[in-house]
Amino acid sequence: MFEDNRISSMDFGAMSDEGLIDALRTAHGAVAAAQAAEVFAVRELYRRHRAESAEPGPGGVRAGEFAAAEAAVALHADEATAGALIDIGLALEESLPRTRVAFGAGRIDLAKVRVIVDSTRALTQEVIDALEPRLIEAAGRTNPLRLRQAARRWAARLDPGGAQRRRERRQDDRDVRIRAVQDSMAVFDGLLPAPGAQTVAMRLREMSLQVCARDPRTMPQRRADALVALADGSGGLRCMCGRGERCPRSGTPIEQPRRPLIQIGIPADSLFGMREAPAFLAGYGPIDAALARLLAEQAHFQVIPKQTEDGDPATTVDVARQESEVRAVDGMCRFPGCVMPAAESELDQHPPFGIRRRGPASRAHYAVLCSRHHRLKSLADSGKSRWRAWRADLDRLQWTAPTGDVHTTVREGARYLFPHTDIDAPPPLSTVVHRFDPEAEPRPFSGDRPTAEDLSYPLAGHLPLHGQLSRLAPEDDIPEDAPEPTGTTL
Ligand SMILES: [Zn+2]
Ligand SMILES: [Zn+2]
């Protein structure tokens, strides 16, 4: 493996082309071996968690459930990534011993290991044993995409009768999710059984053709708008040809869209256009002020008073209102690295993080936590988990991991609502007057689509083979039902 000082002393400028390619190969092998070490380490952490925390049932720790949280917090990665690493580690150990060895030696990298794990997931061990050596050999001379195609072809040849079984197992992997990318855009991604996917595709196409031919949108743009129209209740596309009554489709009935089911935090002066501080779209992150103003045209408003130095004066005794203020200033789950939107999270109230209550409850006594991390904190509060959480001050929550590492989270939503509190931000540049000039603006070309692939962990969209890992990402957690009320009811 490369040592830091060796890399900085390597003179790439003096190398021949052959020397550079050699260095590239050596470096890639070292990366692969390091990735293997990560997978084996997190898998072992999971094994220990499982061994020590089997206390099933409500209120107990499900075996191994917070191993991914601990690894994700330590690596500053997300829990779905840590969960995918665990899943791959388990699969290597259970059924792919040769792949495990080749990975550990740096002969195949994580991207290809992932392909091998994916391609063998629904095969019998007998078929895997015949296929695995071929895949490892092919991995040495091809890229992940071609490896995936070859694997599919060979699996079909070795196990022709297995197609139905594989299809049935694959249906369990159906999923739809979104991933934030830059420029106020998100990738909407999914895996559906083919007939269902085709149903959606045909419906979007049908809706795309409901507008007249002079509608300026391309088919891809219309399909995208149609998908949102399915969800917002309008059920159809309004033609944008601008011809009003003369548009042949002007009679098509379109329902009024429902108000968006999203939450946006925006500073008051940005809302009124006096300033361009970014707004916060819960679950996504920063969006530009102009987009927020556009969305605000059909929004409900709630004014959030600023937090003061010596605590929050209880601005209201209305509990529901206070709760929604906490959701606004927290913005998202307060566990380190978690981005679950506040609106889909729970409010944690007890114990009040070590601060004695003065007077009526205020925002300071609450924190937003998603269902998964609310569970983690409740278990920690009752001594059933080795995590600890306490409030350092009105803004900061501190989390101590079982290993003793301390992580701090702040009220993220407040950074947007009150931009002057964002003291970690770089200082503003001297005022730049920005005029939108469509000619000068660099235009994204169609090949420049945002992607959400994480370069250090090529695991986006990994579907765990191990059922117990399928709830590891906070967005996949299923909250427990509230306890049934006991006693007589009418
Ligand atoms: Zn039209
Ligand atoms: Zn969370």
Both 164 and 208 in one domain: the answer is no
Ligand nearest to the CA of 245: 1
The ligand minimizing its distance to the Cα of 373 is 2
Whether residues 307 and 169 fall in one domain? no
Whether residue 25 sits in one domain with residue 151: yes
Q: Closest ligand to 66 CA?
A: 2
Q: Domain check: are 170 and 201 in the same one?
A: no
Are 352 and 463 in the same domain? no
The predicted pLDDT at position 441 comes to 43
Domain boundary among 384, 410, 426: 426
CA of 246 to the centre of ligand 1 (A): 8
Question: pLDDT digit string (tens) for 204-255?
Answer: 999 999 999 899 999 889 999 999 999 888 889 999 999 988 999 888 888 8
- Are 398 and 466 in a shared domain? no
Q: Is residue 259 part of a domain?
A: no
Boundary (domain end) residue, out of 214, 246, 278:
246
Chain centre distance of CA 393: 28
Specify the range with the lowest mean pLDDT, choosing from 162-176, 185-199, 426-440, 447-461. 426-440
Distance 110 CA to ligand 2 centre (A): 27
Q: Which one is predicted more confidently, 484 or 375?
A: 375
Q: Are residues 151 and 204 in the same domain?
A: no
Judged by its nearest atom, the ligand closest to the C-alpha of residue 345 is: 2
205 and 279 belong to one structural domain: no
Q: Is residue 440 part of a domain?
A: no
Decide if 434 is inside a domain: no
Read off the pLDDT of each residue in 19-47 and give the average, rounded to a whole number: 94
447 within some domain: no
| CA atoms of 388 and 378, how far apart (whole Å) | 10
Q: Is residue 150 part of a domain?
A: yes
Is 165 in the same domain as 193?
no
Q: Is residue 391 part of a domain?
A: yes
**Looking at the CA of 215, which ligand is closest?**
1
pLDDT digits (tens, 9 = 90+) for 316-329: 567 777 888 888 88
Average pLDDT over residues 106-130: 92
Q: How many CB atoms lie within 10 A of CB 134?
A: 13
Q: Region 164-193: what's the mean pLDDT?
A: 83
Same domain, 269 and 219: no
The answer to whether residue 438 is domain-embedded is no
How far is the centre of ligand 2, averaged over its atoms, from the C-alpha of 372 (Å)?
A: 6
Ligand 1 geometric centre to CA of 222 (Å): 13
Task: Determine the pLDDT at residue 25.
Answer: 92
Instruction: Please name the residue that has the structure tokens 């596309």.
Output: 237
Task: Give 398 Cα–ligand 2 centroid separation in angstroms.
Answer: 14
Looking at the predicted structure, is the pLDDT value of residue 2 above 70?
A: no
Last residue in a domain, options 217, 246, 275: 246
Query: What total number of domains does the chain contain?
Result: 3
Same domain, 112 and 21: yes
pLDDT > 70: what percent of the chain? 82
- Per-residue confidence band for 41, with pLDDT thresholds at 50, 70 and 90: very high
250 alpha carbon, closest ligand = 1
User: Average pLDDT, stretch 76-87?
Assistant: 90
- Indicate whether 268 and 391 sit together in one domain: yes
Answer yes or no: is 68 within a domain.
yes
Q: Which of 74-88, 91-105, 142-156, 410-424 has the lowest mean pLDDT?
A: 410-424
DSSP codes, 322-371: HHHHHHHHH-B--STT---BGGGSEEE-SS-TTPPP-SS--GGG-EEE-H
With 60 as the cut, is the pLDDT of residue 193 above it? yes
Six-digit token pair at 126? 């007998």
From the CA of 218, how far away is ligand 1's center (Å)?
14
Give 338 Cα–ligand 2 centroid separation in angstroms.
5
Q: Which domain holds residue 383?
A: 264-426
Compute the distance from residue 388 Cα to the ligand 2 centre, in Å: 15
Calculate mean pLDDT across residues 323-351: 84
Looking at per-residue confidence, does 179 or 391 come out higher?
A: 391
CA of 252 to the centre of ligand 2 (A): 44
